[in-house]
């Protein structure tokens, strides 16, 4: 199937026309590839910068979240392109395969502003997905959280950490793996084991992914706050005072969100939340048929411009809880950041740091544009 590009002067650093495996072995592409070839960072624009992320000093608390930075080549290129927070794609305690190709399709919500609203009928009735990429960009995220073996990703993560320049931080992402026959205690222990493997690389902080279908089709760990609380307790027993942030999907219930905060931050196991990941939607082609091939892939997470409103809402709700409960935790705003204005909106909503995945994939200069706007 040929991919049609309706935008000019760009080449995404993750090539959606290649398999995940090819991207891992051959990428990154576009401007990210060029900065690796040159061996030097792109010159920074002037602007007001300076801040911190989970206690680490950074030039600007802006970067790329878990997902598109597959290995140390990607994270190093991100650093050189001015993204001062580069998240190493989520790793596991064992090798884990990727969903079949294709993984990324362009998504076209029916709403006039191109947004998806959690709980709306469109998410179940079907959202058009095809290969016609256009602005404002929204895409499917149907990878299944692949991972290399620890013997592969641990040395590569060490190299990624070492490549950070002053004022930049490598952010490792990890998650537990639920396999057939595994007890809940084993599942908790697998998170702790993976966190220990990450800590062994010299990581200064880490993010635990609770926002992908870890426990079966379309079931999210973050929708079980009490289990997340038990897992983060086990993880902190392994990593000690290393700061831990957890990645959340959209949580509709205010009571559930408060329970998440109380079960983690309230118990001293978590120092921050990163939100949101994606919004789950049934994706269909122009004829109304399943857009992504294969069993269990009728739905996919959608990211990009379409989820900006939901991401901002989650940040506002977390900021309000932080103030009402008198708790101290960081908020990392993610979802639909494609411009300096979007960065500013997240900061105004209460985010301490901001990240962009889809926006950064389609605009390698996004970090420089944001810094120039400050």
Is the previous residue joined to 102 through a cis bond, with omega within 30 degrees of 0? yes
Q: Count CB atoms within 10 A of the CB of residue 296.
A: 12
What pLDDT does 26 receive?
98
End-to-end CA distance of the chain: 42
Residues 6+ apart with CB under 8 A from 170: 75, 86, 88, 157, 160, 161, 163, 164, 203
**For residue 47, how far is the Cα from the chain centroid?**
26
Dist. CA 191–CA 186, nearest whole Å: 9
357 neighbors 312 (Cβ within 8 angstroms): no
Q: So what's the pLDDT on residue 220?
A: 87
List C-alpha distances in Å: 299 to 39, 126, 143, 224, 283.
40, 9, 12, 21, 6
Low-confidence ranges of the chain (pLDDT < 70): 1-10, 41-49, 213-218
The separation between CA 102 and the C-alpha centre of its own chain, rounded to angstroms, equals 19
For residue 358, give the nearest of 23, 115, 128, 64 by alpha carbon: 64
Distance CA 305, CA 113 (A): 10
CB 121 within 8 A of CB 281: no
pLDDT on residue 47: 55
pLDDT of residue 263: 97
The pLDDT of residue 8 is 46
pLDDT at 115: 95
Which residue numbers are catalytic? 212
What letters, b where the CB count within 10 A reaches 16 and e where it falls short, cover 223-233? bbbebbbbbbb
Instruction: Tell me if 55 sits within 8 A of 245, measured CB to CB.
Output: no
Helix (H) or strand (E) holding 322: helix 308-325
């Amino acid at each position: 199937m040929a991919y049609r590009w309706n935008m000019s002067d760009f080449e995404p650093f993750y090539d959606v026309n290649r398999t995940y495996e090819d991207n891992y072995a051959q990428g990154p592409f576009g401007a990210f590839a060029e900065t690796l070839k040159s061996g030097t960072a792109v010159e920074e624009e002037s602007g007001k910068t300076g801040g911190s992320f989970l206690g680490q000093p950074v030039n600007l608390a802006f970067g790329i979240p878990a997902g598109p930075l597959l290995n140390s080549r990607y994270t190093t290129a991100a650093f050189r392109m001015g993204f001062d927070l580069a998240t190493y794609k989520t790793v596991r305690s064992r090798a884990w395969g990727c969903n079949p190709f294709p993984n990324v399709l362009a998504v076209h919500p029916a709403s006039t502003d191109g947004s998806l609203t959690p709980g709306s009928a469109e998410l179940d009735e079907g959202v058009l997905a095809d290969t016609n990429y256009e602005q404002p960009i929204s895409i499917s995220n149907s990878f299944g959280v692949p991972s290399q073996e620890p013997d592969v990703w641990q040395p590569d993560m060490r190299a990624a950490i070492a490549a950070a320049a002053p004022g930049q931080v490598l952010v490792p992402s990890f998650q537990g793996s639920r396999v057939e026959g595994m007890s809940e205690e084993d599942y908790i222990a697998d998170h702790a084991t993976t966190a220990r493997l990450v800590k062994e690389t010299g990581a200064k902080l880490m993010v635990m992914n609770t926002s992908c279908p870890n426990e079966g089709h379309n079931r999210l760990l973050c929708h079980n706050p009490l289990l997340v609380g038990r897992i983060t307790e086990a993880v902190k027993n392994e990593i000690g005072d290393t700061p831990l942030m957890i990645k959340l999907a959209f949580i509709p219930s205010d009571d559930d969100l408060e329970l998440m905060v109380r079960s983690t931050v309230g118990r001293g196991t978590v120092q921050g939340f990163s939100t949101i990941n994606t919004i789950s939607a049934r994706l269909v082609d122009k004829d109304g048929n399943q857009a992504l091939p294969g069993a269990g892939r009728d739905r996919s997470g959608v990211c990009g411009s379409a989820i900006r409103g939901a991401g901002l809402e989650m940040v506002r709700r977390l900021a309000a809880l932080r103030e009402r409960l008198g708790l101290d935790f960081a908020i990392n705003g993610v979802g639909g950041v494609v411009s300096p204005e979007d960065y500013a909106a997240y900061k105004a909503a209460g985010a301490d740091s901001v990240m962009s995945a889809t926006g950064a994939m389609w605009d390698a200069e996004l970090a420089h544009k944001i810094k120039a706007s400050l």
